[in-house]
Amino acid sequence: MCATCGCGGEAAIVLDHPHDHDRDHGHDHHHPPPHEHPHAHDHGHDHEHRPGGVVELEARILAKNDALAQKNRGWFAGREILALNLVGAPGAGKTALIERTIAELGGEPPLYIIEGDQATALDSERVRKAGAASVQVNTGTGCHLDAAMVAHGLAHLRPGPGALVLIENVGNLVCPALFDLGEAAKVVLFSITEGEEKPVKYPHMFGAADLVILNKTDLAPYLDFAIDKAVANVRAVNPAAQILKLSARTGEGMAAWRDWLRQRLREAREAVFEPGAT
Amino acid sequence: MHELALTCSIVETAEEAASGSRVLRVTLVVGRLSGVMTEAIRFCFDEVARGTLLDGAALDIVEPEGRARCEECGAEFATPDLLTFCACGSYRLTRLAGEEMTIRSIEIEEAS
């Protein structure tokens, strides 16, 4: 663990989750994706002669996070679980979309929510009231979730086979773009109260999206938001992304989102068997 | 400020690779389209390195310019930002350079 910021370790994580599970896991923390914090500090101090010089590494800066993310991904695939990384600005409606999704799916498949916020367990409580099992990860000063935090959340939630796991990232359109959590897809949510230029202002995040959801379409009559222009801006940074328009408040457009989820759930059932699947 | 988390990862990886030797220099490759502010990494580096094998190490950052190839017409061109598109009008690009985020090498002290 990094002592300065706590990244990669548990220090930055405060978990809130209900303790009245059917299964009492006794807090012995047998984490399902083995929760490693590798340290190579066994250097022995035997003072053998070692030549100095340049050691070529060519190591990805995020190699540790990416390895943990792949472990999460394999854990999901083996359980035929669909995991989605839901990102967007604060106030875009991420939690509202989750609440509506819980209500509309009606328990099939079982839903598990990992809520990421800097502080409070408010969102975790919200989605629990809506009917899903959830765990809150507080990142403290951290601006994004990382793969280790998600593994830790999974250790508490223990989603079963065939489940849908929605990971609501910290509200932020910058930092979460870089951190793979092991999700099958990144879903970027933005709302028509935010302005059409959001995709081109935050090209990294929108460029990384598999699906872009334009939320709060029920407010269109009251705003000067040009939906066509917003869609063109998404296309400019991400020609391949799918785009859905909906209102998590009124429910309009939710059918397409449910269809998208069902399609991805079917794909998740086969993910582990795909040649070259990771 | 994801750069602090990145800097932690850099120091941790370099320290493991150094196998107990003091690290004198770390060379990173951080592309200009990677979404990483190299100034922020420089700002964090000394503090994160303190008390580790990288304490006092120099930090070199190579920053490749963005380049892409158009999937429609095959042209290769410079992409100073992620919004640059091909002269033929296409946005469908394969990025060739500029998104790098690697630790190229470390220079370690001779141990005797």
User: Which among B35, B105, B110 has the least Cβ separation from residue A54?
Assistant: B105
Q: Around B31, how many Cα atoms within 13 Å sit in the side-chain half-sphere? A: 21
Encode pLDDT of A145-195 as tens digits. 999 999 999 999 999 999 999 999 999 998 899 999 999 999 999 999 999
| pLDDT tens-digit series, residues A197-212 | 999 999 999 999 999 9
Q: Supply the pLDDT for residue B2.
A: 87
Closest CB to A59: pick one of B11, B18, B103.
B103
Which residues in chain B have Cβ-Cβ distances shorter than 8 Å to A181?
A: none
| B103 reaches A (C-beta below 8 A) | yes
Instruction: Give the mean pLDDT of chain A.
Output: 85
A198 strand-pairing partners: none
Considering only residues 58 to 97 of chain B, which have any Cβ-Cβ distance to chain A shorter than 8 Å? Answer: 81-83, 85, 91-92
Distance CA A23, CA A46 (A): 48
Cα of A12 to nearest chain B Cα, Å: 12
pLDDT at A142: 81
Q: What is the pLDDT of residues A181-199, one digit of tens each?
A: 999 999 999 999 999 999 9
Percent of chain A, pLDDT > 90?
72
What pLDDT sits at residue A8?
43
pLDDT digits (tens, 9 = 90+) for A62-112: 999 999 999 999 999 999 999 999 999 999 999 999 999 999 999 899 999
Sheet strands side by side (includes B76-78)? B76-78, B67-70, B93-97
Low-confidence residues of chain B, pLDDT below 70?
A: 1, 112
List chain A residues with CB under 8 Å of B12.
2, 8, 64
Nearest residue, CB atoms, B2 vs list A52, A178, A235: A178
Q: Check residue A141 and give its pLDDT.
A: 77
Which of B13, B48, B81 is closest, CB to CB, to A4?
B48
Indicate the residue of A48, A58, A207 with minimum beta-carbon distance to B82. Answer: A207
Q: Which chain A residues touch B112 with a CB distance below 8 Å?
A: 47, 49
Which of A28-42, A132-146, A180-194 is modeled with the greatest confidence?
A180-194
Q: Helix count (H) and strand count (E) of chain A? A: 8, 9
Our CA-based measurement puts residue A2 at a distance from the nearest CA of chain B, in whole angstroms, of 6
CA distance A272 to B13: 30
Res A36 pLDDT > 50: no
- CA–CA distances in Å: residue B58 to residues A184, B46, B55: 39, 9, 9
Name the minimum distance, in Å, from the CA of B77 to any CA of chain A: 17
- Residues of B in Cβ contact (< 8 Å) with A56: 104-105
CB atoms within 10 A of CB A101: 22
Touching check for A4 and chain B: CB below 8 Å?
yes
B101 and A57 in contact by Cβ < 8 A?
no
pLDDT tens sequence across A5-27: 344 444 345 566 554 444 444 44
| Beta strands, E only, A38-79 | 53-60
Query: Residues of A numbered 23-82 whose beta carbons fall under 8 angstroms of chain B's beta carbons: which are they?
Result: 38-40, 43-45, 47-65
What is the Cα–Cα distance from A62 to B100, expressed in whole angstroms? 11
Q: How far is CA B84 from CA A177, A242, B80, in A?
A: 19, 21, 7
Q: pLDDT at position A276, please? A: 66
Q: Is the pLDDT of residue A35 over 50?
A: no
Count chain A–chain B contacts defined by CB atoms under 8 A.
135
Reply yes or no on whether the pLDDT at A217 is more than 50.
yes
CB B35 to CB A178 under 8 A? yes
Question: pLDDT > 70: what percent of chain B?
Answer: 98
Q: Which residue of A has its CA nearest to B92?
A: A239
Residue A44 has pLDDT above 70, yes or no: no
| pLDDT confidence tier of residue A34, bands split at 50, 70 and 90 | very low
Distance from CA of B105 to the nearest CA of A (A): 4
Which pLDDT belongs to residue A139? 86
Handedness of CA B28, B31, B36, B42 (dihedral sign): positive
Residue A47: per-residue pLDDT: 52
What is the pLDDT, as a whole number, of residue A11? 35
Give the nearest partner residue to B110 out of A52, A54, A56, using CB atoms.
A52
Any chain A CB within 8 A of the CB of B40? no
| Burial of A39 per CB tally in 10 Å (0-12, 13-18, 19+) | exposed
Instruction: Quote the pLDDT of residue B111.
Output: 75
Q: Which of residues 214-243 of A touch B (CB under 8 A)?
A: 235-237, 239
| 0.90 surpassed by complex ipTM | no
The whole-model pTM stands at 0.84
Count other Cβ atoms within 10 Å, centred on residue B105: 21
pLDDT band of residue A1 (cuts 50, 70, 90) is very low
Are the Cβ atoms of A236 and B17 closer than 8 angstroms?
A: no
In whole angstroms, give the CA distance from residue A92 to residue A188: 10
- CB of B12 within 8 Å of a chain A CB? The answer is yes
State pLDDT tens for residues A246-275. Answer: 999 999 999 999 999 999 999 999 988 887
